[in-house]
Amino acid sequence: MKNKTVNITDFPHDNPYGIRMYEVLLFGMKNMVLPTEHNPARHLNLFMSEIFSKKELPDMEEAQKAVTLVMDTYNSISRFFMKDKDNSFPSDVAAITEAAVNNVVDVYGKKGLIELLHKCISGFEFILEHYEDELFALELNDKTAGETGVADYAELCEMMSRVAAKTVAELSEKGKRAAAYRHMGCFILANLIMLTDIANSIRILNMPKPVRQEAKKDKIGRNDPCSCGSGLKYKKCCGKNDNVVYLNQTKP
């Protein structure tokens, strides 16, 4: 079945399969930054097994619809990160984060938002594990550095992981409501999307370049004209010593 072209924000939050937008979003983001030694297909299979092991689907037709929903959304996430970025990128990121976080807060409450933040922490840690050196070499602009107090993208990634962990700790306290942390959830997820985009660019730059193979030269027949241009047959010219075994090459 051919996957449709869909927008990430068109994800049907009221789908009958209980699939959450942020689950597919964060999985797709992690797949975008998998180092070349990882197998994306294996990662996809593990994710599908994990997500559908918790779902009760009545029959194969509904199971196929659920798989199609996940794959259509996953492909739209891949296209989002692979396309050329323009001035609409910040507003696109804002729309995606608001759709994901609002769905979690409105439907799943505190527990859902805490789960989303835990997955964001894992995302920051994964990016740091594989791209810390490259991110360290990328300095933040003066404005962002002044606002955040960090100098490079590796420090920003570490800081956002700490912010997410602190938010989880606060939200876990009795009496705290998920709605009060809606904006913070959007802020954390938006930074993860931005860092994922940067790490994806680094991954593409680090991909091994294809090695150009030189075409094999056709073997010259013994009766063909010699390639040296003498006009003689190969066997009478440069090839006359082929297959000759000299005395000093033989064993006594």
pLDDT in tens, 12-24: 888 888 888 999 9
Q: State residue 247's pLDDT score.
A: 43
State how far the alpha carbon of 7 is from the alpha carbons of 21, 72, 80, 94, 98, in Å: 12, 9, 9, 14, 14
Q: State residue 239's pLDDT score.
A: 67
Pick the range with the lowest mean pLDDT from 66-70, 205-209, 237-241. Answer: 237-241
Selected residue with higher pLDDT from 81 and 1: 81
Q: What is the percentage of the chain residues whose pLDDT exceeds 70? A: 86
Tokens of 219: 């073997």
Q: State residue 200's pLDDT score.
A: 94
CA–CA distance, 118 with 26 (Å, rounded to integer): 11
Is pLDDT at 237 greater than 80 in this prediction?
Answer: no
Selected residue with higher pLDDT from 147 and 196: 196
This prediction has a pTM of 0.78
Is pLDDT at 249 greater than 90 in this prediction?
Answer: no
Q: State residue 188's pLDDT score.
A: 97
State how far the alpha carbon of 111 is from the alpha carbons of 107, 171, 179, 248, 251, in Å: 10, 9, 12, 84, 82
Name the amino acid, one letter, at 138. L
What mean pLDDT comes out for the span 6-12?
A: 83
Q: State residue 241's pLDDT score.
A: 57
Task: Quickly state the pLDDT bin for 35 (edges 50, 70, 90).
Answer: confident
